[in-house]
Amino acid sequence: AVGNIAGVRKGCVAVIGAHDRTTSTERLVVIAETRETDPSGMEALRERINGMTLDLMGVPCDDVMLLPPHAVLKTSSGKIRRAACSEAYEQGRLGGAARPVWVQLGHVVLAATRPALHRLRRSASAATFAVYAWIVFWLLAPPTWLAAALLPRPAWVWSMLRVMARLLARLLSMRIHVTGASHAAIDKPGVLVANHASYIDGIVLVAALPQPVRFVAKAELLRGFIARVFLSRMGAEFVERFNHEASSADARRLAQITHTQYPLFFFAEGTFTRVPGLRPLHLGAFVAAAESAVPVIPVALRGTRSILRDGSWFPRRGAIHIAIGEPIDPASLSSETQGDTWRAALALRDRARSHILRHCGEPDLS
């Protein structure tokens, strides 16, 4: 009926109930579009609308809003959106000037491209961090290598490496959380074994372990001058992986040196790949421990693979968790191994692998 009043646009009238927060009552509001712009004409139009409301409903409306064309909210099919009009009225958003078409188009385009913009921002942030990480690494690597080559004592080399590894982790906001550190702070011979997930595993362990260790590395690294000098100055031991006779000799040699000052550290998987998961553990570390009757200390690394995967030169931000298990003494397994060295090595491997699998956060690929 209001739409039939002269001056009111037909099909552009909404009668709504709006909540009055002051009196906690419902207000009767008529919203109508008109082309009238003269104040006296608009006031006369309000009186006619109010009079018609009184005639039809027996009560006057609490408010009459006259809006310019296309201001009343509608669906795409042209139906009045009364709930949206009521919400807009209560929030004071009705009656404002219509936004230009180019502004409305801009909002539509922005809404459509916002997900792509978020992805682009994340990619740009990740690329910036990767460049920053490599700059920091190459600023620290040369002086670290030179100091390792020149320092006369292995203990001094290890102390220097620990400082530099922790500095690198700090500059890259690499959060390293260690549990069970006291298990690795042993004052007697031992063998530490860990899963291998990333290029940065060695750096992380140098920063986190409570005491120096002697890493066991593949003999192929001896071919490169830089790696050979650096690892040798760290006190690393090298083993042959492909020559069976040389590999057996290396195993006997490692068994003999397990009683030296620093414990041996093995990455028992032997290598790592891009694919997450714990692979079978090689027996060399466990045979050395069983033959020497020294405990095995399992170490589980979690998070390094996601920071720098195999085959990738794109480091990412992330947190690293290191879970160091209780020492596993071969003597405690005597009841099930009956003094057999091979059975003791298998039992040590199974116990250590169980701890690593429980804490590495990756599936079992054995």
Report how far apart, in Å, the C-alpha atoms of 362 and of each of 55, 58, 157, 175, 358 are.
76, 74, 33, 19, 9
Contact 227, 177 (CB under 8 A): no
Q: Where are the domains of the chain?
A: 2-98, 136-359
Provide the 8-state DSSP code for 67. E
Tokens of 183: 């298990």
Q: How far apart are CA 295 and CA 332, in angstroms?
A: 10
pLDDT digits (tens, 9 = 90+) for 218-227: 888 889 999 9
pLDDT bin (cut points 50, 70, 90) of residue 47 is confident
Q: How far apart are CA 41 and CA 32, in angstroms?
A: 14
pLDDT digits (tens, 9 = 90+) for 118-166: 889 999 999 999 999 999 999 999 999 999 999 998 889 999 999 999 9
Report how far apart, in Å, the C-alpha atoms of 271 and of each of 1, 265, 313 are.
82, 14, 17
What is the secondary structure of 188-215 as a DSSP string? S--EEEE----TTHHHHHHHH-SS--EE
Q: How far apart are CA 291 and CA 341, in angstroms?
A: 6
pLDDT bin (cut points 50, 70, 90) of residue 239 is confident
> Where does 136-359 sit in CATH, by number?
3.40.1130.10
Half-sphere exposure of 170 (CA within 13 A, CB side): 8
What CATH fold (topology level) applies to the domain 2-98? GMP Synthetase; Chain A, domain 3 (3.30.300)
